[in-house]
Amino acid sequence: SLIGSPVTLKILQNWVPRVSHYFDKEHYTYVGHQIVIQESIEHFGAVVWPGALALSQYLESNQEQFNLKDKKVLEIGAGTGLLSIVACILGAHVTATDLPEVLENLSYNISRNTQNLNMHKPEVRKLVWGEGLNEDFPVSTYHYDFILATDVVYHHGALDPLLATMVYFCKPGTVLLWANKFRFSTDYEFLEKVCNIFNTTILAEFPESNVKLLKATVRKN
């Protein structure tokens, strides 16, 4: 069951008009930094979706409630890397993960936007939901303070592995922040499963964008 009365927010136009004539670059401003994102037409993971904008904005505005400084943060399905870059700027040790075919563009965006900043150097790694988690991210070594996931739920066949991945990384003390556009019945079914497994709070809703932002933590038995 969902707890909390969410704040109602609007996704702000945090991107600045394009200075360049290239169609594939988007410019954003978060936490006082201009961020340039290269999108790619070939892959779902290479476009900035509204959930990433919503969670980036929320983290920027709620730094006391969710202080990322020196925290270990894992983003699953990082896509273009916008949210991971924002988490970096907020001082986190970030590991951005996605499918192999997305990593080149993801790495490019992350390194380009964080290279001259005095912060923890982010890491980019392959993570296929539900596959090889014990080998690639053994529990003994990897513990994250925050798991970030945005627009990871849409019409695809990997919803069960996605849920298994969330469960795998969400240890006691970990906070999962998940922002998603809710369009399909499958989105709500996934939400129901999350609520059945975790303590789930709805933090914010962005009605114009159909985005909900949820916080989930492991149930204490």
Confidence of residue 49 (pLDDT cuts 50, 70, 90): confident
| Residue 167 neighbours by CB under 8 Å, 6+ apart | 197
> In the numeric block, which tokens belong to residue 158?
């990997």
Residue 75: band (very low, low, confident or very high) from pLDDT cuts 50, 70, 90: very high
The predicted model gives 74-86 an average pLDDT of 96
**Residue found under tokens 């964080």:** 114
pLDDT 10s digits, 183-217: 999 999 999 999 999 999 999 999 999 999 999 99
Given 3.20.20.70, 3.40.50.2000, 3.40.50.150, 3.30.450.20, which CATH number is that of 46-218?
Answer: 3.40.50.150
% of the chain at pLDDT higher than 70: 90
Q: Give the mean pLDDT of the chain.
A: 90
What pLDDT digit, counting tens, does each position of 135-183 carry?
A: 999 999 999 999 999 999 986 789 999 999 999 999 999 999 999 999 9
Q: Count CB-CB contacts under 10 A for residue 161.
A: 16
With bands split at pLDDT 50, 70 and 90, how would you rate the model's confidence at 20? Answer: very low
d(CA 155, CA 136): 27
**What tokens were used for 202?**
């709805």
Q: Are 19 and 25 in contact (CB under 8 A)?
A: no
Q: What mean pLDDT comes out for the span 49-55?
A: 93
State residue 194's pLDDT score. 97
pTM summary value: 0.90
pLDDT band at 4 (very low <50, low <70, confident <90, very high): confident
- Domain spans in the chain, listed from the N-terminal domain onward: 46-218
Q: What is the pLDDT of residue 9?
A: 86
Pair of tokens at residue 165? 């991945």
Which region holds residue 100: left if phi is over 0, alpha if psi is between -120 and 50, else beta?
A: alpha
